[in-house]
């Protein structure tokens, strides 16, 4: 009887994990994950970039030094689970000439 109860509890736990895995990420979680990934990226160095999400659509704002950083930020954001689309409104800082 005890083994049956343990087996039943294990099955319920695993079923809960499977169902939770299919649940889409909330916009708040997406924003947090994108910010972490951007800040950790060696090319973007994006700790100061703005990130917003609505229904899985992420909007990036702020200023970076190069086009490479801007493109990389969109690529990094797009790889985060739950992101459906990235709107890249990042601008390139003007060079002082």
The answer for residues whose C-beta is within 8 angstroms of residue 45's C-beta and 6 or more apart is 39, 69
Average pLDDT over residues 15-22: 55
pLDDT attached to residue 68: 95
End-to-end CA distance of the chain: 81
Quote the CA–CA distance of 88 and 30 in Å, as a whole number: 15
Confidence class for position 9, pLDDT limits 50, 70, 90: low
| Domains identified in the chain and CATH numbers | 25-92 (3.30.1340)
Contact yes or no for 44/63 (Cβ under 8 A): no
Residue 73 reports pLDDT greater than 80: yes
Half-sphere exposure (CA, 13 Å, Cβ side) for 19? Answer: 6
23-58 pLDDT, tens digit per residue, is: 678 999 999 999 999 999 999 987 789 999 999 999
């Amino acid at each position: 009887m005890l083994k049956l109860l343990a087996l039943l509890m294990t099955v319920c736990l695993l079923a809960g994990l499977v169902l939770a895995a299919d649940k889409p990420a909330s916009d708040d979680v997406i924003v947090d994950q994108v910010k972490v990934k951007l800040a950790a990226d060696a090319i973007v160095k994006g700790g100061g970039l703005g990130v917003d999400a609505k229904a899985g659509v992420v909007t990036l704002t702020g200023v970076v030094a190069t086009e490479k950083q801007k493109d990389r930020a969109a690529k990094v954001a797009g790889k985060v689970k739950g992101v459906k689309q990235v709107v890249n409104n990042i601008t390139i800082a003007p060079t002082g000439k």
